[in-house]
Amino acid sequence: MEFKAEILHLAALRQSKGISLETIAGQTKISPYYLRAIEDLDFDKLPAGVYRENFLTQYASAINEELAEDLGRKLRKAAREAAESADATRVAQGLWRSAKENIARGAALLLLCGTPSASFAQTKAARPAVLERDPRHDALLKFWQKYKCPIESLTTDFIAAADRHGLDWRLLPSIVFVESSGGKHGHGFNMMGWGSGKIKFRSARDAIFHVSERLAKSPIYAGKDIRTKLRIYNPANTRYADRVQEIMRQMGPVLLATR
């Protein structure tokens, strides 16, 4: 399949169709921070693995359904290639800058022209990577460090789960801070007091993604604003919503990731 030259300029193509980034963000629940990274061809700002594939496919789908189908197939192939070759070598800082540019160009070619040979460089980390360049990552990490919370390694998971389910990135971390002092208490990896604290999870990461999904999609939470969600989450404590929202404000503004 061949694409017109206009597709090499994603922002211009989007604008020519009268589609705003805000419209795509509303449809896909993807932060404008990541949408701008896609249009800038700065792919190392995106979460890794299936999250990156999902973001690129959803963006393409919002512009052109036919492109999205072809893109999804190429990205799955690229993801497999990347998994096989991830962390094959490590280079010095100066060489890494050059390699990153080549990766971005290769990913852009894959996205825009359908070339399957480029692969995305990834680390061996099983968790989705949210690079520290994302201001939300830095803000949340500093918050955990300030209060000596033992869950710094889960920072990327909190942000990735929020982006996947269209939640405010501060919501679940603030619930965790209120419920377990930021992971200092609780059992069965249940840091967020889910199910009155009686539910057990296989891992902290499973807990984060499960509760995020329920806060976004469960019939009792879906479509409700944050304050209402919090009142449902803990109906016995009349000050619960105030407490959680105060912690959210301490973590930073909701649009911290945009520019």
Question: Is the predicted pLDDT of residue 124 greater than 90, yes or no?
Answer: no
Question: Is the predicted pLDDT of residue 8 greater than 50, yes or no?
Answer: no
Residue 124 in domain: no
Nearest CA-CA partner of 205 in 159, 241, 240: 159
CATH of residue 165's domain is 1.10.530.10
- Find out whether 250 and 181 touch, Cβ atoms under 8 Å: no
- Where is pLDDT greater, at 109 or 146? 146
Pair (149, 211) in one structural domain: yes
Domains held by the chain: number: 2
Q: 21-76 pLDDT, tens per residue?
A: 889 888 888 888 888 877 776 666 777 767 777 887 888 888 776 666 765 565 55
- Find out whether 207 and 201 touch, Cβ atoms under 8 Å: yes
Residue 128 in domain: no
What residues contact residue 17 under an 8 Å CB cut-off, 6+ apart? 63
Question: Residue 124: phi, psi to the nearest 5?
Answer: -80, 0
Residue 257 in domain: no
Q: 193-205 pLDDT, tens per residue?
A: 998 888 899 999 9
Pair (105, 162) in one structural domain: no
Angle at 239 between CA 234 and CA 244, to 5 degrees: 70
With cut-offs at 50, 70 and 90, classify the pLDDT of residue 163.
very high
Residue range of the domain that includes 33: 5-113
Q: How many residues are listed for the chain in this entry?
A: 259
With cut-offs at 50, 70 and 90, classify the pLDDT of residue 139.
very high
Give the per-residue pLDDT at 40.
Answer: 72
Pair (160, 93) in one structural domain: no
- Find out whether 134 and 159 touch, Cβ atoms under 8 Å: yes
Q: Would you list the DSSP string of 183-224? A: TTS-STT-TT-TTTTT---SSHHHHHHHHHHHHHHSTTTTT-
Describe the crossing of helices 135-146 and 240-251 by its angle, rounded to 10 degrees: 120
Mean of the pLDDT values across residues 224-245? 93
Within a 10 A sphere around the Cβ of 141, how many other Cβ atoms?
A: 16
